Amino acid sequence: MDVTRLQRPVIAAPMAGGPSTPELVAAVNAAGGMGQLAAGYVTVEAVRQQIERTRSLTDRPIGVNVFVPAHPDPRIDRAAVEAYRRRLTPIALRLGADVPEPRWDDTDGFEAKIALLEEAAVDTVSFTFGCPGAQVVRRLRAVGSQVVVTVTDADEALAAVREGADALCIQGAQAGGHRSTHRVDAIPNDLSHLDLLREVRSVTSVPLVAAGGIADAQDVRRALGLGAAAVQVGTALLLTPEAGTSATHRAGLTEPSLSRSVVTRAFSGRPGRGVRNAFVDELDAYAPSVFPVVDQLTKPMRAAAAAVEDFHLVNLWAGTRWRQATAAPAAEVLERLTP
Ligand SMILES: Cc1cc2nc3c(=O)[nH]c(=O)nc-3n(C[C@H](O)[C@H](O)[C@H](O)COP(=O)(O)O)c2cc1C
C-alpha cells in the first residue's frame, strides 16, 4: 500500500494493549483511511488470528505494527529495577496482584512476528522503538509489504532511510502512548509533529506520515501543507465503539477531575504520554529507563486496577488533545478529520 494514495489521508495508529481491534481497522478502512493492528505485547498466534479476523472484515490494505526490541544493554541498572519493584509491591498487594520477577531477555517475539508477517504479506508493516535492520526490511519488501519506521528526530529518520524504509511516521511530542525514541534511555525532545516535519523533510524525500495531537481537519490541513503524505491518529479513535479501549481507560479519559497529560516512564520504563493520575504522581520520579522490564512489573497490578475500574492505577495513554476525543463511530471521526 502506498500511503500517498489513500482515499482519506488518515491512518489509524496501531495501539497495543487493547485499543486496536480488527473492527477498528475495518471501520477505518471502510471510511477510506487505513487501519493498523498492533502486534506489540501479544503472542505471535494472537497476531495471526487478528490478521485473519481483520481480513474477514475488510479487503482493503491493512498495516501491522511491531515493536523493535532493545538490544540487551549491559548497563541496565538492575538495582534500580529492584528498588522500583519494592516501591510497587505495596500498591500491588492492595490490589491483590503480584509484582513478577523481572525478565531481562524479552524481545516481544520479534523474530517470530517477522516470520509471520513474511507469510501474511500484509500491505504495510510499521515499526516503533527503532529500526528493524536492513535485512528485515528486505525480507518484508520481498513479499510486497511497504515498510514504515516511526522516528522522533532527523537522525532516526536518516537511519531508517539508510535501512530502506519506504516511508516514515514522524511522531511529535504531543503523541499519546509511548514516544518512539530509538533508544530506551533517550530523553525525548519536545518537537511537535509540525517542527519534525520541517526538520525531517530537509534530510529526506521519502513519504512522511505525521502523528501526535492531531484532532481536527485544520491539524490535518497544516500537516499536509508541510508535506506530510498522511496523518496518523491514535487518541482521536480511543473512545470510538470499534476500539477495544478498556472501560477503565475510557472512564479516565472522560473524568473531569483529570486535567493534564504528562510524559512518564512510571508504567513501562519508556517515556509515554498519558493523562496524569495518582500512579504517575506517586511513581514518576522513581521509574528506571528499562523497557519492557518495568512494563512487565506493573502489568498485573494494572490489570487488577482495570478490573475494578480504578483509573488512578492504570496507564491512561492519550495525546495532548484527548479532550477532543469523542465516542462517535470511527467513520465520523475520519469525516471530522478530513480537510
Ligand atoms: C493507547 C495508545 C497505544 C499506542 N500503541 C502504539 C503501538 O503499539 N505502536 C505504535 O507504533 N504506536 C503506538 N501508539 C502511538 C501512536 O502510534 C501515535 O504516535 C499516537 O497515537 C499519535 O498521537 P495521538 O494519540 O495524539 O493521535 C499508541 C498510542 C496510544 C494513544
Q: 112 lies in a domain?
A: yes
Shared-domain flag, residues 8 and 82: no
Q: 253 lies in a domain?
A: no
Domain count, the chain: 2
Give the atom of ligand 1 at the shortest distance from the alpha carbon of 235: 25
Shared-domain flag, residues 33 and 8: yes
Would you state the pLDDT for residue 10? 98
Average pLDDT on 249-276 reads: 97
Q: 156 lies in a domain?
A: yes
Q: 168 lies in a domain?
A: yes
Q: Residue 177 forms beta bridges with which residues?
A: 273
Ligand 1 centroid – CA 13 distance (Å)? 5
Shared-domain flag, residues 308 and 329: no
Shared-domain flag, residues 100 and 110: no
Q: 254 lies in a domain?
A: no
Q: 149 lies in a domain?
A: yes
Can you give the residue range of the structural domain that contains 288? 72-105+259-315
For the ranges 42-46, 104-108, 327-331, the lowest mean pLDDT is seen at 104-108
Amino acid at 326: T
Shared-domain flag, residues 232 and 157: yes
The CB of 171 under 6 Å from ligand 1? The reply is yes
Q: How many CB atoms lie within 10 A of CB 203?
A: 11
Question: Which H or E element spans position 270?
Answer: none
The CB of 268 under 6 Å from ligand 1? The reply is no
Would you state the pLDDT for residue 164? 98
The CB of 40 under 6 Å from ligand 1? The reply is yes
Shared-domain flag, residues 191 and 147: yes
Shared-domain flag, residues 98 and 194: no
The CB of 125 under 6 Å from ligand 1? The reply is no
Q: 283 lies in a domain?
A: yes
- CA 117 centroid distance within chain: 18
Amino acid at 303: A
Q: 227 lies in a domain?
A: yes
Atom 7 in ligand 1: residue holding the nearest Cα:
15
Per-residue model confidence as pLDDT tens digits over 305-326 = 999 999 999 999 999 999 999 9
Shared-domain flag, residues 219 and 117: yes
96 is written with which cell numbers?
Answer: 491483590
Number of separate helices (H) and strands (E) present in the chain: 12, 11
Quick check: 172 and 228 in contact, CB under 8 A? Answer: no
Ligand 1 centroid – CA 15 distance (Å)? 5
**Position 204 confidence tier, pLDDT thresholds 50, 70, 90:** very high
Shared-domain flag, residues 90 and 226: no
Average pLDDT on 137-163 reads: 98
Would you state the pLDDT for residue 202? 95
pLDDT above 70 as % of the chain: 99
3-state secondary structure of 152: coil
Per-residue model confidence as pLDDT tens digits over 84-112 = 999 999 999 999 999 999 888 888 999 99
Shared-domain flag, residues 236 and 267: no
**Position 1 confidence tier, pLDDT thresholds 50, 70, 90:** low
Shared-domain flag, residues 155 and 168: yes
Ligand 1 centroid – CA 191 distance (Å)? 16
Radius of gyration of the chain (CA): 19
Quick check: 46 and 53 in contact, CB under 8 A? Answer: no
The CB of 318 under 6 Å from ligand 1? The reply is yes
Would you state the pLDDT for residue 137? 98
Shared-domain flag, residues 149 and 168: yes
Would you state the pLDDT for residue 72? 64
The CB of 252 under 6 Å from ligand 1? The reply is no
